[in-house]
Amino acid sequence: MLARLNDWVTKGMLVAAATLAFLLCFLVVADVLGRDVFSRPVKGTKEMVEASIVIICFLQAAYAIRSGGMIRVDVFVSSLPPRGQAALALVGALFGLAFFGLVCWGSLEPAAHAWNANEFEGEGALRIPSWPARFVVVAGTALAAIQYLISAWQHLQAVRAGTYAPVGPTRAH
């Protein structure tokens, strides 16, 4: 059940990230046209793009892990027997779980501070609240850690069974 819920949430976050990236394209084009044609750029474009890039990246993290899109070097691993491949995948998943878990834990206090202090990014033309990006980092890293936990469990089962089937884009759908 956790895997199914995680699947649904990661796909939703991927759609949100793609939608934000699509809308961001219109903002950048409007800013360039406004700057070059009318000598009036869209105010705050820099601040909105900065915040959006962080949000887009962390919204996609869990889906990238789930679909097998994270960087992996197969040259050494492919020479091992299936049980060895599964064991290395398990170790990698545990390291990923630890990394994203620590980033999530370390991001909680700055996100709460941004909310409580009403923290903003940017000066002058447009000031953007920083708490949405900070909470997306928390949510994105939490879901990435959960995805690595699910992957670790799957790899542990593969080690026990002596089989290994790498996660990839075709298996994730």
pLDDT the model gives residue 167: 62
The reply to whether 123 falls in a domain is yes
The reply to whether 169 falls in a domain is no
Q: What is the pLDDT of residues 128-147, one digit of tens each?
A: 889 999 999 999 999 999 99
The reply to whether 70 falls in a domain is yes
φ, ψ (nearest 5 deg) of residue 123: -135, 150
The reply to whether 118 falls in a domain is yes
Number of domains in the chain: 1
Q: What is the pLDDT of residues 89-119, one digit of tens each?
A: 999 999 999 999 999 999 999 999 999 998 8
The reply to whether 167 falls in a domain is no
Full residue range of the structural domain in which residue 6 is found: 2-161
**Could you write out the DSSP letters of every residue in 54-112?**
HHHHHHHHHHHHHTT-S---HHHHTTS-HHHHHHHHHHHHHHHHHHHHHHHHHHHHHHH
More confident residue, 132 or 169: 132
The reply to whether 170 falls in a domain is no
The reply to whether 166 falls in a domain is no
| Global pTM value | 0.84
pLDDT the model gives residue 168: 52
The strand pairing partners of 128, in sequence order, are 121
